[in-house]
Amino acid sequence: MSQSTTTPAPLAITHLTVAYGDKTVLWDITWQAVPGLTAIVGPNGAGKSTLLRAALGLIPSIAGEARFFGRSLDEVRNRVGYLPQRASVDWDFPATALDVVCMSRYPRMRWWGRVPKAEREAARGALDQVGLADLADRQIGRLSGGQQQRVFLARALAQDADLYLMDEPFAAVDAATEQAIIAVLRRVVAAGRSVIAVHHDLSTVPSYFDQVLLLNGRAVAAGAVKSAFTPDAIARAYGGRLNVLEQAVAEGGLQ
Amino acid sequence: MTVTDFLRLDLPALLAAILACGSCGLLGSFLLLRRDSLLGDALSHAVLPGIIAGFAITGARAGLPMLLGALAAALLAVFLIGLVRRVARLESGAATGAVFTSFFALGLMLMEATGARSVDLDLDCVLFGQLESVVWLEAQGFGSLLDPVALAALPRQLFLLAAVAVVLAGLVALLWRPLHLLCFDPDYAAAIGLPARGLELALNLMVAAAAVAAFEAVGSILVVAMLVCPAAAIRLLTDSYRAQVLGGAALGAALGALGYALAGPLPAAFGQSFSLNAAGVIGTLGGVTVAGAMLLRQLRNASPKPAIISG
């Protein structure tokens, strides 16, 4: 927390409270992300996606605010990338993989006419980074689930941001795709950028991530994985809802 | 049929059908891609009280006040649908249905109360339009097409339809890319700083404008058919955004022309002396086209497809 006086945190959330109708989903969250690779972990319904969506202003919050690099989102919009859940869109949509990746650059181009060559090349570069250069012109519905997830990753990368908010980048992908994605995220972080990802699989948190936020409506624990991701904190975040596998991770997986 | 007859009776109605159906076909793709085709249905009905109010205030069937009234009614309806969804926590289909039927019913009551009926703005006109009454009696032959005086006497619905079609085509070209993203992933559009809410509102107003301009000529039923059928038929046949949007417009316009052309000859071909309501023929063709597209797609899917590579 002391570093906030030197470099502003990529994301700082203060007293954030969010409700859907009369059901409060997030209670008074105050959390400061540090640069690097951060997981947001918690049981279903813990408000993980809601936290990202509220920070991005996609859903209204009752109280609190999110600041990016010490500024409001509007001031630093092009430094913040977003990867929504894959299931949130219709993959039958008439668009190619390249079209979807180009979308991330729309705020930088005129709204009409052809996509400028430089923007198209940037989008191709992002597809190349996730290993999909050969499938650029394929309609997105004809890609496998893992390929679709990588198209979304490429779209986020093409934003060329300093902080990426990712909503379940590993959801429903096979093991090979998961390895490919984590390799890309590590390269992104090695280049001095930050990633905050909603993550479901407790067993891979220690190997994939540096930082963690344990969430269950409230911020249960946060910090370096080594110190904050303790069996006790996990049990508090998951309450009685830990399944057998998660229990095993919580009890012994860290050592 | 002489040239003059054609110019007087058929050309204006034919142009009106093409412009009305083309405009609706153009916007239908966006509604379909947003999985919001019901909104076209809703807006094309919700504009009625605005049209009647525009008529009541000016006391005449003039294009602009009725268009403005319709746009105001559409805005109000969109706002109310959102409000009902949030406050009553109804799913979007129910909220949309509740609002537009109320608006349409209110429009019918206003129609009675304001005396709009007496100038034959009646239910028939609302539902089926008055394509056959779009005539150009000043036409005296091909020369009239170049005669400013005669051209000025073209039916005013044509001017409104043409103006709306040009404006809509321009807006679609201008908003080409943002609309693509808005249809695919509105949250992402908002997250990267595109004015998603503004674009959504713009799209709704464009649909309302197309609906109201087309409404008088072809009626609300055909407006709904042309907002849905061409886009749905093309959607079954292409995976390209450009082909989808432009194809929807072209197919809409083609159905308008073909339907109008067939309305007279079709019964004659069966030895009948009456002629059909053009709007009815166009709407029926719309349904037939979607069915045809489904068949085509089935045939195409039966042939081998490129394998999906996993990974």
List the domain boundaries for chain A: 11-254
What is the structure's pLDDT at B311?
40
- B135: pLDDT strictly greater than 90: no
Mean pLDDT for all residues in chain B: 86
CATH among 3.20.20.70, 3.40.50.11540, 3.40.50.2000, 3.40.50.300 for A11-254: 3.40.50.300
Burial class (CB in 10 A: 0-12, 13-18, 19+), B87: exposed
Nearest CA to A82 out of A156, A136, A192, A168 is that of: A156
**What whole-number distance in Å separates Cα of residue B186 and Cα of residue B202?**
14
Q: How far is it, in rounded angstroms, from Cα B119 to Cα B55?
A: 10
> What is the model's pLDDT at position A243?
63
CA gap B272, B270 in Å, rounded: 6
Q: Which of residues 180-219 of B touch A (CB under 8 A)?
A: 180-181, 183-185, 187-194
- CA pair distance A51, B247, nearest whole angstrom: 41
3-class SS letters over A18-74 = EEECCEEEEEEEEEECCCCEEEEECCCCCCHHHHHHHHCCCCCCCEEEEEECCECHH
A158 touches chain B (CB under 8 A): no
pLDDT tens digits, B199-229: 999 999 899 889 888 877 788 888 999 999 9
Whether the CB-CB separation of B179 and B199 falls below 8 Å is answered with yes
Q: Please name every residue paired with A212 in a beta bridge, in sequence order, or none if there are none.
A: A39, A223
Q: How confident is the model at residue B267 (pLDDT cuts 50, 70, 90)?
A: confident
Question: Can you tell me the ipTM of this complex?
Answer: 0.90
CB A102 within 8 A of CB A142: no
pLDDT the model gives residue A247: 63
Contact between residue A70 and residue A121 where contact means Cβ atoms under 8 Å apart: no
Q: Cα dist. B110→B50, B235, B274 in Å? A: 10, 38, 34
Whether residue A186 lies within 8 A of chain B, CB to CB, comes out as no
Please report residues of B whose CB lies closer than 8 A to that of A144. Answer: 308-311
From the list A234, A216, A217, the residue with the least C-alpha distance to A225 is A234
Q: Which pLDDT value is given to residue A255?
A: 44
Chain B residue with Cα closest to A90: B184
Among B177, B180, B184, select the one facing A89 at the smallest CB separation: B184
* Mean pLDDT confidence for B145-163: 85
Query: For residue range B7-21, what is the model confidence (pLDDT) as tens digits?
Result: 888 888 899 999 999
Q: Is B120 exposed, middle or buried (0-12, 13-18, 19+ CB in 10 A)?
A: exposed
Note whether B311 contacts A176, CB cutoff 8 Å. Answer: yes
Look at strands A194-198 and A37-41 and give their pairing: parallel
| In the block, residue with structure tokens 């220690």 | A206
- On whether the CB atoms of residues B154 and B93 are closer than 8 A, the answer is no
pLDDT of the residue at A120: 94
Contact A125, B189 (CB under 8 A): no
Asked if residue B310 has pLDDT above 80, the reply is no
- Tell me, what's the pLDDT at A4? 45
B188, B236, B300, best to mutate vs chain A, most A CBs in 10 Å? B188
Distance CA(A238)–CA(A232), nearest Å, equals: 10
* Residues 218 through 237 of chain B touching chain A, CB cutoff 8 Å: 235
Find residue A213's DSSP bridge partners: A40, A222
Tell me which chain A residues have a C-beta less than 8 angstroms from the C-beta of B190: 56-58
Check pLDDT > 80 for residue B40: yes
| Residues whose CB is less than 8 angstroms from the CB of residue A92 and which lie 6 or more positions away in sequence, other chains included | A141
Strand partners, A165: A82, A196
pTM of the model as a whole: 0.87
Q: Is A103 on the interface with B (CB under 8 A)?
A: yes
> A95 — contact with chain B (CB < 8 Å)?
yes
Output the DSSP codes for chain A: -GGGGTS--SEEEEEEEEEETTEEEEEEEEEE--SSEEEEE--TTSSHHHHHHHHTTSS--SEEEEEETTB-GGGSGGGEEEE--GGGS-TTSS-BHHHHHHHTTGGGS-SSSSPPHHHHHHHHHHHHHTT-GGGTTSBGGGS-HHHHHHHHHHHHHTT--SEEEEE-TTTT--HHHHHHHHHHHHHHHHTT-EEEEE---GGGHHHH-SEEEEEESEEEEEEEHHHH--HHHHHHHHGGG--HHHHHHHHHTT-
Other Cβ atoms within 10 Å of A105 Cβ, number = 22
pLDDT digits 0-9 by tens, B83-95:
888 888 788 888 9
Closest listed residue to residue B150, CA positions, set B2, B1, B11? B11
Most confident of B71-80, B87-96, B136-145, B241-250: B241-250
The residues that bridge with A223 in the sheet, in sequence order, are A212
The three-state DSSP-derived secondary structure of chain B is: CCHHHHHHHHHHHHHHHHHHHHHHHHHHHHHHHCCCHHHHHHHHHHCHHHHHHHHHHHCCCCHHHHHHHHHHHHHHHHHHHHHHHHHCCCCHHHHHHHHHHHHHHHHHHHHHHHCHHHHCCCHHHHHHCCHHHCCCCCCCCHHHHHCHHHHHCCCHHHHHHHHHHHHHHHHHHHCHHHHHHHHHCHHHHHHCCCCHHHHHHHHHHHHHHHHHHHHHHHHHHHHHHHHHHHHHHHHCCCCCHHHHHHHHHHHHHHHHHHHHHHHCHHHHHCCCCCCCCHHHHHHHHHHHHHHHHHHHHHHHHHCCCCCCCCC
Neighbours of B149 (CB within 10 A): 8
Asked whether the beta carbons of residue A93 and residue B187 sit closer than 8 angstroms, the reply is no
Is residue B249 within 8 Å of B26, Cβ to Cβ?
A: yes
For residue B238, which residues of chain A lie inside 8 Å, CB to CB?
94
A57 inside 8 A of chain B by CB: yes
Q: Tell me the pLDDT of chain A (255 aa) as tens digits.
A: 444 456 889 999 999 999 987 889 999 999 999 999 999 999 988 999 999 999 999 999 999 999 999 999 999 999 999 999 999 999 999 999 999 999 999 998 988 888 999 999 999 999 999 999 999 999 999 999 999 999 999 999 999 999 999 999 998 889 999 999 999 999 999 999 999 999 989 999 999 999 999 999 999 999 999 999 998 899 899 886 566 666 666 665 544
Identify the pLDDT of residue A3.
46
Does the beta-carbon distance from B244 to A107 stay under 8 Å? no
Q: How many CB atoms lie within 10 A of CB A182?
A: 18
Contact assignment for B191 to A82 by CB distance below 8 Å: yes
For residue B30, which residues of chain A lie inside 8 Å, CB to CB? none
CA–CA dist B247, B239 (Å, integer): 12
Residue A222 Cα, gap to closest chain B Cα (Å) = 25
pLDDT score for B62: 65
- With a cut of 80, say whether residue B233 has pLDDT above it: yes
